[in-house]
Amino acid sequence: MRNYLFLLLLLPGVAMAQDHSADSAWFREHYVKHEYYIPMRDGIRLFTSVYMPVDSAGANHPILMTRTPYSCAPYGLEAYSGRYYRGYLMQYAREGYIFVTQDVRGAWMSEGQFVDIRPYNPHKKGTETDEASDTYDAIDWLVKHVPGNNGRVGVFGISYPGFYSTMAALSGHPALKAVSPQAPVTDWFQGDDFHHNGAFFIMDGFSFYTSFGLPRPKPTTVRPRGIRFQSDDNYDLYLKTGSLAHFAALMGDSVAFWKDLYAHPNYDAFWRARNDRQFLTDVKPAMMEVGGLFDAEDCFGAQNVYKAIATQSRGTDNRLVLGPWYHGEWASGNGWFLGNARFGSNTAEYYEKNIEFKFFQHYLNNGTDTLARANVFFTGENTWHQLAAWPPAFSERRLYLAGSGGLSFDGASSGYDEYVSDPAKPVPYTEDVHFHRTREYMTDDQRFAARRPDVLVYETAPLTSDLTIAGPIVADLQTSISTTDADYIVKLIDVFPDDFQYPSSFVGNGTHYPMGGYQMLVRGEVMRGRFRKSFAEPVAFKPGEVTSVRYTMPDAAHTFKAGHRIMVQVQSTWFPLVDRNPQQFVDIYHAADSDFVKSTIRIYHSSSIILPVLQ
Amino acid sequence: MRICLALLCLIFSSSAFAQDLGWVRAHYVKREAYVRMRDGVRLFTQIYYPVDSGAHHPMLLMRSSYSAAPYGAALNEALGGSFWHRFIRAGYILVFQDVRGAFMSEGIFEDIRPYTAGASVDEASDAYDTIDWLVHNVAGNNGRVGALGVSYPGFYAAMTALSGHPALKAVSPQAPVTNWFMGDDLHHNGAFCLMDAFSFYSMMGYPRPSLTTSFHKAFDFRSDDSYDLFLRTGALPHFATMLGDSVAFWDSLYAHPNYDAWWAARDDRRYLAGAHPALLVAGGLFDAEDLWGTLHVHEAAGGDFVLGPWYHGQWSSPRPAFGLGHIRFGSNTAAYYQDSIEFPFFQHYLNDGVDTPARVNVFFTGENEWHKLAAWPPVSTPMPMYLQSFGGLGVSPDSGYASYVSDPARPVPYTENVGFDRTREYMDDDQRFAARRPDVLVYETEPLASDFRVGGPVQVDLSVSISTTDADFVVKLVDVYPDDFRDTAVRYPMGGYQMLVRGDIMRGRYRRSFSAPLAFTPGLGTSVPFTLNDVAHVFKKGHRIMVQVQSSWFPLFDRNPQRFVDIYHAADSDFVRSEIRIYGDSRIVLPFIPDLP
């Protein structure tokens, strides 16, 4: 979500360097733009842009809506947004869809007060509002006022607009037939952009709120100006800035949500009210959650909205799509590769043509839906699978972190490995010096990390046959530390053979990277140690005492091919992706620089990683 | 030297230089001859001479162990475009010879064959005999001969300078291999350049059973990742096993871990003061292979001298040389060298040219300007900078220490990226990747208030203690760019760049003597003094000076077991962690130049 500006560019396929002049001309000829202020039940009016077919005779046009805090720009009746003709949305245009984009309450040109991830209110009365009621009111107005509509509405959105899509699904408006939350922001403490398991994603959080978080005193079409960083090097900047208190000073006191983050270090009532999953109990429209297996921002949301509906709202027509994608890549037109990892086909195009379009056509425009419940692309094997459930039936297989760097299915052994975690020299999350958090770190080569003395490395012998995992991965560590808190980062890695090369038919990113011996990150996740027993009630470590740190990482869908090795790396920093743990049990949001100390971390050989191995 | 093939490509490569080959073909004749040496051995020799044979043509000789190819009628395409073309256009006779025992020459090859001062056949006598034959047998020569060569051929150029033949008037040893224990390709201060040595000898070291026009097949490493391959292979005995027992020089390396009489006989500096011809020594400030030889041949023999901001051989490249890695130098420094220094030098001594260059031409990086100097190194003020225990680099020592654990199982990489071939660019690479490791100590100044020029050798005097009985010490002098530094021509984040200006390694056991190594006493403080190769750099105002200290630099250098054992015969189990302490009275002495003409 941090990359939201980037995403806005990408989303409609704007970034594609193609000549769209023919499509542009076609779109201008066949579509007319309107702008409306749609009144909500409390009198607040939301700015809405509507592109409708010129030929609106016959009430046969479905409505496809996105509600966004990122602006429905460009504004003005003559300024057309490229998102509709530059990318895959053109196929909807050819079918005569009515496109609606709305600035959410308090954002850009809409009236009212913006609230970040405004909590859903299941007990609204009278003119009380939330994002669900705003969606209801918007849909109600649209089906009554937009000429030619067929009375069926779909909602979709990526990232923050994915959150608004989930909220739309809770609106209960009868005209809303199909919703696709894509990488939806869902729980900003457990997963998604700003925390994973309670550890703060400082870089994404800070760079997002330094621009997005600024107050909007009145409706505007102008983007806020964020802090200009005089730096090419986020590692340096974030390390030099120091403890979180310094970031608050840089941010100033006008960013409401930044202050909320500091006021709620633990999973308290504030956060619980913002856990969307709990409300997904009686979901009416057909749902299709879409997410990237390598989404650096909202890998959590898509998977967990799907699971919440699947378990709490069993009657809902609910589907899941997982592809090998960065945040929003499925809508970019190009899903051949991510970083150095290649997938052998254009997975984005496949999604756009064969999944999303069919979904909306079926529910909004009398198409036929033959989609399986789960459509998942398995990397390594590089094929799409149509599955009846997600995760599919699997068996839990433990791989033990053994002595001498071994990784073994054969059971626990005694002994331990140790390293010193130094908050003054944190392990970088990626190899190269750069400023903007990369999308590619999710599949990056981990050799740079394996070569550090503060990263433990465990690996199997080359596999004799393929091994496919599908579902959640559990890190089950037995550990002791010399201080009172520490973070744990466990990374599951596919080690390519020394002579590995992709087939020439696999489109890549144009660089020649040494793929022999590549250590591909398949899944990595952090756990803030203090939350090992409860996210609501952190517990200090007792120095030297062995304790269990067990946590679940996001789902993976990957085949470790025969001849590859499985590797696990363990480290205690991942910087500046994740803020540094002072390694003492203090309030991290108010810690002083002097609170940060070295800790000796022991990982016992009774530790394991539990893989969901496909039968 | 390791990249000899790459260099050959540079000097002799194909199509890049073909543009004027037609002219060469019209005006030159190629002849191949076997020239008989005093002991009857015949050396394969190619002569390119002008069709017009008035007796006024100077000769340039290059003796090489890297083949005089192409053999037969085919013309060397480099003559159509590279720096050679300047000499071709001026009517020089060009002579390429396979040295004794190499490729098409008879006899037995011996790596860096020791100079014997006339006592027996050596490379100097072979050069003498060759020159003598040339002036008597090549039509149209003017009786004046020059010699030049880069890298290993630089060694042969230095030996040619010792031939004493009266017709030899001018010699240019460029990046000459000079002392393979102290510096240059195979060791620095006794630490073994494992990667360069292995990749070189796995190709160049195998015996040549009979005369041949072909290179030995390169070793198939089946790896994209030198760090992984060299770490996994383990202790040095495993490398000997991989190579087999037929590589004579490899066996010699293992038999002579210390600076003994065998090595001393191969120290060319001892003889060079007596060289008679005019000399032009040239080399690169960022030459990963033979910077040491460049500096020390000049130191020993004097003469004209050139230091530019170059990788190994870059000065003789036909390609524009505007930079190295991410660092740009603002002008085509190779063209300047070829046009304004090298060609006029030979013209003056061989062809009555009048345009003599200045004695010393040195390019100062940072400032990016050539300076003509009276001598190298110039007069400087020694500026001691202390490695303060809290990370400062300043004029006063302190009584504390900083420490790290050096783990031979996780050595510090010499460069950031995964790759197989040793890069040329590591010499000015960004060191941020290293600064972020817990086993690298970092010391830096505040941003400089004014430009700070350094020129000459850099003395290091570390005050250390270690928990084991041996360790290596790598000291890196780094220029830290300001955060807002921008270079739009470079696709690299240059703000905060940590440019390696100079780095080198000292194998701790040699801190008192290279011939009599000495164990450390665990926990006992001791000094480790050594000298870094010369620098010519201006730390600009607003930049910082940084020093990094670490105990491995892999796989550039072999890992020290960190115990006082014979490293060439150490077992994998001999390699242990060592806790290294660097005390606050450790210092680096910068050759500060307040004012340069």
The tens digit of pLDDT for each residue in A539-553 reads 999 999 999 999 999
Contact B309, B329 (CB under 8 A): yes
B223 contacts A433? CB cut-off 8 A? no
- pLDDT exceeds cutoff 60 at A1: no
B437 contacts A517? CB cut-off 8 A? no
**Sign of the dihedral defined by the CA atoms of residues B317, B320, B323, B325, in that order:** negative
**Looking at residue B439, what is its pLDDT?**
98
Q: Does domain A1-182 have CATH number 3.40.350.10?
A: no
**Cα of B460 to nearest chain A Cα, Å:** 25
- Phi/psi of residue A63, each to 5°? -110, 130
Complete DSSP assignment for A5-49: HHHHHHTTTTTS----HHHHHHHHHHEEEEEEEEEPTTS-EEEEE
Q: How many CB atoms lie within 10 A of CB B73?
A: 7
> Which three-class secondary structure state does DSSP give residue B582?
strand
Q: CB distance from A445 to chain B under 8 Å?
A: yes
For the ranges A219-228, A294-303, B146-155, B183-192, the lowest mean pLDDT is seen at A219-228
Q: Where are the beta strands (DSSP E) in A499-586?
A: 519-528, 547-560, 565-571
How large a percentage of chain A has pLDDT more than 90?
93
Residues of B in contact with A451 (CB under 8 A): 227, 410-411, 413
- CA-to-CA distance for A67 and A60, rounded, in angstroms? 23
- CA-to-CA distance for B17 and A45, rounded, in angstroms? 72
Closest Cα partner for A597 from A423, A426, A418? Answer: A423
Q: How many CB atoms lie within 10 A of CB B39?
A: 12
**Sign of the dihedral defined by the CA atoms of residues A158, A164, A168, A170, in that order:** positive
By Cβ distance, the residue of B222, B432, B438 closest to A433 is B432
The count of CB pairs under 8 A between chains A and B is 85
- pLDDT exceeds cutoff 70 at A11: no
- Cα B548 off chain centre by: 22
Q: CB distance from A498 to chain B under 8 Å?
A: yes
- pLDDT exceeds cutoff 60 at A452: yes
Per-range mean pLDDT, top range of A79-88, B350-359, B480-489, B583-592: B583-592
**Looking at residue A7, what is its pLDDT?**
40
- CA-to-CA distance for B193 and B556, rounded, in angstroms? 6
Q: How many CB atoms lie within 10 A of CB B64?
A: 23
For the ranges A365-369, A540-544, B315-319, the lowest mean pLDDT is seen at A365-369
Name the amino acid, one letter, at B562: Q
Q: Which pair of structure tokens corresponds to residue A292?
A: 């990237």
- pLDDT exceeds cutoff 90 at B564: yes
Q: How many CB atoms lie within 10 A of CB A316?
A: 18
By Cβ distance, the residue of A233, A453, A517 closest to B432 is A233
**Looking at residue A57, what is its pLDDT?**
74
- pLDDT exceeds cutoff 70 at B83: yes
How large a percentage of chain B has pLDDT more than 70?
96
Contact A229, A235 (CB under 8 A): no
What value does the mean pLDDT of chain A take?
Answer: 95
**Looking at residue A62, what is its pLDDT?**
98
Contact A55, A138 (CB under 8 A): no
Whether A394-614 and A1-182 are alike in CATH topology: the answer is: no
ipTM of the complex, rounded to two decimals: 0.92
By Cβ distance, the residue of B225, B430, B436 closest to A447 is B225
Contact A448, B434 (CB under 8 A): no
Higher pLDDT, B84 or B393: B393
Q: How confident is the model at residue B378 (pLDDT cuts 50, 70, 90)?
A: very high
- pLDDT exceeds cutoff 60 at A270: yes
Residues of A in contact with B495 (CB under 8 A): 230-233
Helix ranges (DSSP H) in A400-512: 447-450
Q: CB distance from B375 to chain A under 8 Å?
A: no
- CA-to-CA distance for A431 and B331, rounded, in angstroms? 31
By Cβ distance, the residue of B411, B413, B493 closest to A434 is B493
Say which CATH class A394-614 falls into: mainly beta
How large a percentage of chain A has pLDDT more than 70?
97
Higher pLDDT, A6 or B219: B219
The tens digit of pLDDT for each residue in A130-161 reads 999 999 999 999 999 999 999 999 999 999 99
- CA-to-CA distance for B405 and B392, rounded, in angstroms? 20
Q: What is the pTM of this model?
A: 0.94
* DSSP-assigned letter for residue A441: G
Q: Which pair of structure tokens corresponds to residue A438?
A: 């990369």
**Cα of B478 to nearest chain A Cα, Å:** 16
Residue in chain A closest to B498 (alpha carbons) equals A433
Residue in chain B closest to A239 (alpha carbons) equals B436
Q: Is A449 left (phi over 0), alpha (psi -120 to 50) or beta?
A: alpha
**Looking at residue A10, what is its pLDDT?**
40
* DSSP-assigned letter for residue B413: B
**Looking at residue B281, what is its pLDDT?**
98
- CA-to-CA distance for A312 and A306, rounded, in angstroms? 10
The tens digit of pLDDT for each residue in A176-188 reads 999 999 999 999 9
A445 contacts B495? CB cut-off 8 A? no
* DSSP-assigned letter for residue A352: I
Residue in chain A closest to B437 (alpha carbons) equals A425
**Looking at residue B355, what is its pLDDT?**
67
Residues of A in contact with B416 (CB under 8 A): 431-432, 448
Q: Of chain B residues 483-512, which have a CB less than 8 A from chain A? A: 483-484, 492-496
B493 contacts A451? CB cut-off 8 A? no
The tens digit of pLDDT for each residue in A243-259 reads 999 999 999 999 999 99
Average pLDDT (A584-609) is: 98
**Looking at residue A2, what is its pLDDT?**
42
- CA-to-CA distance for A272 and A274, rounded, in angstroms? 5
**Looking at residue B219, what is its pLDDT?**
86
Q: CB distance from A232 to chain B under 8 Å?
A: yes
> Which three-class secondary structure state does DSSP give residue B327?
strand
- pLDDT exceeds cutoff 80 at B358: no
Residues in chain A: 615
- CA-to-CA distance for A565 and A461, rounded, in angstroms? 6
Which residue out of A452, A520, A583 would a mutagenesis test of the B interface target, given it has the greatest number of B Cβ atoms within 10 Å? Answer: A452
Contact A391, A470 (CB under 8 A): yes
Q: CB distance from B397 to chain A under 8 Å?
A: no
Q: How confident is the model at residue B357 (pLDDT cuts 50, 70, 90)?
A: low
Q: CB distance from A501 to chain B under 8 Å?
A: no
- Phi/psi of residue A556, each to 5°? -125, 160
Q: Which pair of structure tokens corresponds to residue B315?
A: 């000065």
**Looking at residue B18, what is its pLDDT?**
57
B493 contacts A425? CB cut-off 8 A? no
- CA-angle at B480, arms to B476 and B484, nearest 5°: 165
- pLDDT exceeds cutoff 80 at A216: yes
Contact A599, A487 (CB under 8 A): no
The tens digit of pLDDT for each residue in A316-325 reads 999 999 999 9
**Cα of A445 to nearest chain B Cα, Å:** 9
> Which three-class secondary structure state does DSSP give residue A343?
coil
| Domain definitions of chain A by residue range | 1-182, 394-614
Closest Cα partner for B467 from B506, B517, B512, B521? Answer: B521
- pLDDT exceeds cutoff 50 at B6: no
**Sign of the dihedral defined by the CA atoms of residues B413, B416, B420, B425, in that order:** negative
> Which three-class secondary structure state does DSSP give residue B588?
strand
**Cα of B319 to nearest chain A Cα, Å:** 23
**Looking at residue B354, what is its pLDDT?**
75
Residue in chain B closest to A422 (alpha carbons) equals B438
- CA-to-CA distance for A187 and A305, rounded, in angstroms? 10
Q: How confident is the model at residue A536 (pLDDT cuts 50, 70, 90)?
A: very high
In sequence order, which residues have a C-beta less than 8 Å from that of residue A214 and are 6 or more positions away? A224, A226, A254, A255
Q: Of chain B residues 216-245, which have a CB less than 8 A from chain A? A: 222-225, 227-228
